[in-house]
Structure 1
Amino acid sequence: MTETRLDAVKLDGTGPVYDQIRRAIRDLVVSGEWPPGTGVPPEHALMEQLGASRMTVHRALVQLAREGLIIRRRRSGTVVASPPASHAMLDILSIPEEVEQLGQAYAHDVLSRSDGRPAPEVAERFGLKRSDKVSHLVVLHRAGGKPHVLEERVIHVASVAGLAEEDFAQTPPGDWLLKHSLWSQAEHAISAVGAQGDEAVLLEIAVGEPCLLVERRTWNQDRPVTAVRLLYPGPRHRFIGRFGPYGQV
């Protein structure tokens, strides 16, 4: 178990102390400074370092455990939790892994990126407020040199640490988010649509050709994390999920 530096927990002076402690530890986890398996300082150490009462520190840690950020164990202590694994049809999928399972070479290109307040059409498409600060990306994923899926994504800047420094040249946005953000709720929809002009050109298919559109939104508690539209050329893809009486198997 990796140990943490106690002085890394810094309060920002805004709001109740328990919530400042919760945010301070949450930011260390989400940023990757405290990776999964890292030992979280015990309550008495946090009390002394931050000048907080045991009840205040306890409340912050209980909330972090409810959010799935930490795991509290009586004998072995508290550690940073691992993000949930992703491998089923309706889970958060890794596109590179998806391509590798097809036995093909994966590649991707970031076609565009804009940071700041969303353009009106982007806000409408993703249900954003014009005051939201997001990173808007368009990415083309390839399998065996051919277009595999066209991704359009918005990432909420306030919910993801380290976003400004990442260019996604080596790791595509979805995989990067799996490692650098946490989510507690997801909404997932699949529909059939016809390819529009620019989309058809990028996917190297005819305008109007059937496509599978996968739309997904994720939240961490009540904070939006990301929203994505994944457009798959219909004839090249199908989604398969196996289910049992207690969920996916």
Structure 2
Amino acid sequence: MTPEKPRIKATLKYLVVLVLVLLVTIFQDYLSSRYNDYSFYASESFLFNTFWILILPVAFLFNWLFQKDSVNKKLPNPFVKRLFFVLLTTLIHILLFASLINLISALFYKHTFGFLRNLNYTISEDLYKYLLIYSVISLVLIRKKKPAQSEKLQYLEQLVVGSGRTKIAIRTSDISYISAASPYIAIHYDDKKQLHTATLKSILKELNPARFVQIHKSTIVNISHVTSFKSRLNGDYDVLLSNKQELRLSRNYVDNFKEKISMSSSS
């Protein structure tokens, strides 16, 4: 199922619920008019019940804002965060609703409902509804974040290589560098070399990133075996290993290499 389909279904469900709510509230206004013996105008009932349309857009907009790191730092307490959420959404919703009624009535109705009149009416009659609705929404959307449980990644301590019946276990700490040797990779250790069925990309994921770093599209080096590196004055570098082997450090990998070397030295 494509990502668009769940969104379309969710939107359709929201529209169906919204239409049902509007129909129920309009019908309630009709019953109220019959009970209290006053005229019922469906168009005005629909107009003043459009406040339901604004609930989800306003709620999701402020939820998006309240998920930002800057807001989370200023409002770390969930209760305070919910309180601000309820107050701000209620305020913005009331102002938007009063403006919307004023605009729609001016464009499509014979009588224009003034902004201040709409504002006073909404605050006096419906304020509790807004506070209640957005309080419930805040409980659903804003929750105390559980600290992420950091999974300790297990990296290879040794690498088993070889073909046929002969297998050799090589400690990763003994590996000085790994190079591409298509369709294999070459494991260089203790002045020896063993071919291994893998790719540089796949083996790099299994090695400790604090120890191994890619320095070229065809080379991974163990930084604990690096003794020095020297610029070629063209953006590339020459990396010298403890076994006197010299490798090329491509300019595309320089920043990451220097960062890993710096971290290794400080630790």
Query: Whose helix fraction is larger, Structure 1's or Structure 2's?
Result: 2
Q: TM-score, normalised by structure 2?
A: 0.18
Q: Which has the higher strand share?
A: 1
State which structure, 1 or 2, has the greater radius of gyration over its C-alpha atoms: 2
